[in-house]
Amino acid sequence: MKRVCVTGAGGYIASWVVKLLLSKGYMVHGTVRDPCDEKKNGHLKKLKNAEERLKLFKADLLEYEDLCVAFAGCTGVLHVASPVPGRHVPNPQVELLDPAIIGTQNVLNACLNAKVEKIVVVSSASAVLLNPQWPSDQEMDESCWTDIEYAKSLQQWYAVSKTIAEMQALENDKRDDLTVVTVCPAFVIGPMLQSTINTTSLLILSYMKDEGRTIRDTMENSERPYVDVRDLSEAILLLYENPKSKGRYICSQYSLRTKEFIAKMASFFPGYSYPKTFMEKSGRALLSSKKLLNLGWSYRPLEENIIDTIKNYEELGLLAKGKPFPSIITF
List contacts with ligand NAP (CB under 6 A).
Answer: 8, 10-14, 33, 40, 60-62, 80-84, 99, 103, 122, 124-125, 162, 185, 187-188, 198, 200
- Minimal distance in Å, beta carbon 260 to ligand NAP? 18
Q: How many CB atoms lie within 10 A of CB 172?
A: 20
Q: Is 162 annotated in the active site?
A: yes
Give CA–CA dist 124/9, Å, rounded.
18
* CB 261, min distance to ligand NAP, A: 14
Residue 96 or 310: the one with the smaller Cβ distance to ligand NAP is: 96
Closest by CA to 114, choosing from 9, 231, 4, is 4
Q: Taking Cα atoms as reference points, which of 223, 145, 137 lies closest to residue 184?
A: 145
| CB 321, min distance to ligand NAP, A | 27
- Closer residue to ligand NAP in complex, CB, 29/40: 40
Smallest distance, ligand NAP to C-beta of residue 159, A? 10
- Give the separation between CA 121 and CA 179, rounded to whole angstroms: 11
Of 99 and 191, nearer to ligand NAP (C-beta) is 99
| Beta carbon nearer to ligand NAP, 85 or 112 | 85
Catalytic residue among 46, 162, 246, 290: 162
Q: 4-15: b or e for each residue (b if 16 or more CB lie within 10 Å)?
A: bbbbbbbbbbbb
Burial label for 51, CB within 10 Å (0-12, 13-18, 19+), is exposed
CB of 218 to ligand NAP, least distance (A): 21
Shorter beta-carbon distance to ligand NAP: residue 65 or 217:
65
Element spanning 4, H or E: strand 3-6
Q: Please give the Cα distance from 149 to 156 (Å, whole number).
A: 10
Q: What residues are annotated to the active site?
A: 162
